Structure 1
Amino acid sequence: MTLNEHNLLKKYISFSLGTWFRALISFFITPITTWLINPEEFGKATMFSTVYSILLLVALLGTPNSFLRFFPQKSEEEKPVLLWSCLIPPVLLSILVSLVVFVFRSSINTFLVGTSDSKAHIILIATLITGIFQTFNLNLVRSKGRAILFSAIQVIQSLSQMGFIVLYALLVSRNFYAMLYAQLFSNVVALLLGMVFERSYWFPIKVSRKLVLEIIKYGYPFVFSGLLWWLLNWIDRLVLRLYTNFSEIGLYSAAFKIISAMNLFTTGFSTLWYPFAYEQYEKNPENQMIFKRTLDYVAFLVFSVGFLLLSFKDVIFLLLARSYRPAAAISPFLILNPVMITMAIVVARGIDFSKKTYWFIVSDGVTALLNLAGNFLLIPVFGARGAAVSTGLCFIVVFAIEAGVSKKLYPVPYDLKKVYCLVSLFVLSAALHTFSENLLLPVVSSVFGIFVTILVYKTEFLKMMSIGIDFLKSVLHRN
């Protein structure tokens, strides 16, 4: 094991410790919500989130990417101007979007919550505007490298969201408004916190017209790739809305939210991996083994966690209210999302290194179309389980395309045979967990998957155990 690999693994373990508190909060928000709000109301809140996410993506116009790109280039005096110059385009566009939402409020409310007589459109407008400011709030703190404040804002946002849901549901009404207002309230709380600590960047307001044009020119292409990624991740809920009811959407979303706790591993790893990968490539582009070894360790971790989630899914979903227990059968294929995307983060860097990033648009576009077709084919037959199957399999396609292209552009000797062997086993086990009436066979298949993962990645397993023990010893010794 090289020094770089050892340091990277120790650094990730250290880095991830700070994110588990957020993970714990996020993980328990869903069970608490299910005990307070029934699946139908949960489904209505999900449709609100679906529309909110696409409107936010369009309104931002790629300006967060421009902010992250230009921030290191600007002096301290220029950075507040950059912040507000990035904010002006999305704020103006959000006003236009808000006018459209208000004009078509009757149709939008009916699509969102099933009735035209609703205040959902007003909450949508307010959440969109605060969401834009909150996006830049987080990006500002992130760009300044203030990790503690960054984590604190996210933790407080999660806590305020959970607290508001509980209070509204207990004191006002147990309906979808609890989740809608909670999203808006948590945006405001997190934004105010960030503004207090970084007020010198927010006030006074300064804008550069020339910089605004430069920001739009750089950022708008990201909207197209973002739309494809949105389509891949959210189309299932839109098709579910066409063929099923709000209860089915609520069950599907509950399953997705429980599994999304694993995405914290993906997020934490990507935050560490991207700068590390670029640095290694710039220092020594011929050192390809660091990328191969990283995939081996990451594959071992994500498949181990994935098979563990499969094995204990029924126990995990006991945390949810009884009316949500059927979501356990929906979750298996959704686990492929964090599993495949985390590995894709490693293997796809050859596309970045060669500066042929249009391949990401190709992979997202092809997969989004396949997911659209898969959802239209499977949802009428299997409902939410069909949506999960289609979405999960499509993330395998994302990995396959990006891995294949990346290897040609930057020929790292990844051992993809091991990966695809475990992917095949995982799909088989997920299918049993989704469709089998037998209680024992699915669990046996996923436990078998854990043993196969350890056998295939025996070296990585032993080294990870050694590093984990050393890390714990160092922590105990310090205390």
Structure 2
Amino acid sequence: MSKIKQLAGQTVWYGLSSVGKKMLAYLLTPLLTYLLSDNKGMIEYGNISIIYVWVAVANIVFTYGMETAYFRFSNLEGIEKKTLFRTSFSSIIATTILLCAIICLCRVPIENHFGLNHHPEYIVWLSVMIGLDTLAAIPMAKLRQENRPRKYAFINLFSIVCNIVFIIVFMVVLPRWVSAHPSNSFSVWYGTKDRTGFVILANVLENIIVMLLLLGECKSFRFKINIDLLKRLLKYSTPMIIIGLAGMVNEVMDREFLNRWLPYSADVNKRIVAIYSANYRFAIFISLFIQAFKMAAEPFFFNQSRERNAPALYARIMKWFVITLAVAFLFTALFLDVWEHIIIQGKEYRTGQDIVPVLLSANICLGVYYNLSVWYKLTDKMRMGLYITLIGAAITIAGNYFFIPKFGMYASAWTTFICYLVMMIVCYLVGQKYFPVPYNVKKITAYWFVMLLLYFASVGVAHVTDSLIIKTIVGIVLMFLFLLLVLWAEKKEVQSMPVVGKFVKKYLG
């Protein structure tokens, strides 16, 4: 239990950081849907969503799995950690400069692809943003590998606050100042930009702050590459590029597919993308935890891999992980009518609410898959991970291509769920062959079944009454029932926990 407590404690810290830049869009949804609630704004929000799809793809190419390779090799005997840090960071610096230069040279055709109204400078800003994000990857990984989640959390929390402040300044404060000083040279420059550009610029400034906060981690760095070590790192990390790209197809490319394959005008397509993207943010409670768990679990699993009882430990972690995801699902789905007024501000954005439970279920499958995938990382069978991810990518592309023209965003939501469900099942079946872990499949399935049963009970109540108060009370009762079930079923383990353990011993023991 002490090992699980250690992992849980680190996960809390990583969760508090909201996993930095990659999850930032979720936290900005209420602000952006409020500021971009008009017709033009929805088109801009759709455009921003599509741009950041490709930013996620670029991040995979820029980092090429070096972060995961850093974790893997930091636990191998005979490798000096200082040499590993210098080699991996030096490699990232060299490739980042090269890739940023290529993007800047190709800025005009890239700008034409996104339809940014003749703003190629936005592509330069994006390259700087991606480059800085990439340069921060290894120093941030160093913090995780050294089990320093508090500093990691502080950097990400502070940068998130800065990003939100920058967006408010660019999109709320400055418009008023510019209207009062129309002849000012800054006002003239400001008038030539739009809100898409200011969202990008806010991200650039945020990433600059992150790099400044990481200077302490880089003070002993010297640009030096150990060629033999680099070859070993690249051999391990190269498959991560394909895995990562295929993973991005599964995770974010549905926005691009909607934009390309919906049978409407360009503006209508982008408005639908905006609605889909905004409602996808309802998966925030599951996605944030999954991402936080990944941040903590990756170095944790590698560190524990040599222990004799590692498989049993992984099985217990999986059980509690699924319980946590089920709680996150119910916390979102049972109170969806409440959350929609908090997270999404524009009424038209809320028309896609029906896809939320499907996407929540999809993200649970994704979370379980990430937990299961530890087997191919620990056994150095990255090729198997590649095959599983490619299966998911094939399902995603085929499902979206054939069904988007008829079913729109619902096709994307259900395709996402089927993709992750298949990946989860295949990963489990293959993983048990190469790295057997005694997962309690029956109990995990039972928790999943009860979770869905309680959700459909709330749906039945919603069909009977429109009262928000009644639906909220029912949601609280159903949530309490699930938590009570968990405490009763896991009372032996829970009794060893602080605070909660005393309650269980007193009332359920």
Segment of structure 1 superposing worse, 39-48 or 329-338: 329-338
Is residue 286 of structure 2 the alignment partner of residue 254 of structure 1?
Answer: no
DSSP 3-state at the match of 1:467: coil
- Could you report, residue by residue, the CA deviation over 1:100-126 in whole angstroms, capped at 9, with x for unpaired residues? x3251452232xx4x445643232222
Give the length in aligned residue pairs: 461
Aligned pairs for 1:101-120 (under 5 A) are 101-110=106-115, 113=116, 115-116=117-118, 119-120=121-122
| Equivalent in the alignment of 1:416 | 441
Is residue 421 of structure 2 the alignment partner of residue 396 of structure 1?
Answer: yes
Question: Shift of the alpha carbon at 1:19?
Answer: 3.9
Aligned pairs for 1:205-244 (under 5 A) are 205-207=223-225, 215-242=233-260, 243=262
Aligned pairs for 1:296-445 (under 5 A) are 296-319=319-342, 320-323=344-347, 324-420=349-445, 423=448, 438=463
Cα 1:405–1:469 change in 2 (3 A) is same
- Could you report, residue by residue, the CA deviation over 1:309-359 in whole angstroms, capped at 9, with x for unpaired residues? 111122111112133323433322221244223333444444445443322
Code of the aligned partner of 1:400: I
Code of the aligned partner of 1:48: I
Cα 1:216–1:37 change in 2 (3 A) is same
Once residues 465 and 372 of structure 2 are traced to their aligned partners in structure 1, the CA distance between those partners, rounded to angstroms, is 35
| Equivalent in the alignment of 2:497 | 467
Name stretches of at least 5 consecutive residues in structure 2 with no aligned partner: 176-193, 263-267, 504-509
Once residues 314 and 372 of structure 2 are traced to their aligned partners in structure 1, the CA distance between those partners, rounded to angstroms, is 8
Segment of structure 1 superposing worse, 456-465 or 385-394: 456-465
The answer to whether the 8 Å contact 1:30/1:254 transfers is: yes
Aligned partner (choices 66, 84, 90) of residue 84 of structure 1: 90
Cα 1:428–1:246 change in 2 (3 A) is farther
Once residues 16 and 46 of structure 1 are traced to their aligned partners in structure 2, the CA distance between those partners, rounded to angstroms, is 28
Identity between Structure 1 and Structure 2 (%): 18
DSSP 3-state at the match of 1:391: helix
| Equivalent in the alignment of 2:156 | 154
TM-score, structure 1 normalization:
0.82
| Equivalent in the alignment of 1:62 | 65
Question: Shift of the alpha carbon at 1:254?
Answer: 2.0
Code of the aligned partner of 1:22: S
DSSP 3-state at the match of 1:220: helix
Code of the aligned partner of 1:37: L
- Could you report, residue by residue, the CA deviation over 1:252-281 in whole angstroms, capped at 9, with x for unpaired residues? 222223423433322333344445545555
Code of the aligned partner of 1:18: W
DSSP 3-state at the match of 1:56: helix
Once residues 226 and 133 of structure 1 are traced to their aligned partners in structure 2, the CA distance between those partners, rounded to angstroms, is 18
| Equivalent in the alignment of 1:265 | 289
Code of the aligned partner of 1:84: S
Code of the aligned partner of 2:212: L
- Could you report, residue by residue, the CA deviation over 1:217-252 in whole angstroms, capped at 9, with x for unpaired residues? 443222111111111112211111111622221222
Once residues 144 and 389 of structure 2 are traced to their aligned partners in structure 1, the CA distance between those partners, rounded to angstroms, is 26
The answer to whether the 8 Å contact 2:70/2:84 transfers is: no
Cα 1:262–1:134 change in 2 (3 A) is same
| Equivalent in the alignment of 2:185 | none
RMSD: 3.7
Cα 1:406–1:377 change in 2 (3 A) is same
Once residues 61 and 204 of structure 2 are traced to their aligned partners in structure 1, the CA distance between those partners, rounded to angstroms, is 19
- Could you report, residue by residue, the CA deviation over 1:428-463 in whole angstroms, capped at 9, with x for unpaired residues? 888999999937599979976984686478422674
Question: Shift of the alpha carbon at 1:88?
Answer: 1.0
Once residues 362 and 147 of structure 2 are traced to their aligned partners in structure 1, the CA distance between those partners, rounded to angstroms, is 28
- Could you report, residue by residue, the CA deviation over 1:127-171 in whole angstroms, capped at 9, with x for unpaired residues? 232222222342243344433322221112211111111111113
Name stretches of at least 5 consecutive residues in structure 1 with no aligned partner: 474-479
TM-score, structure 2 normalization:
0.78
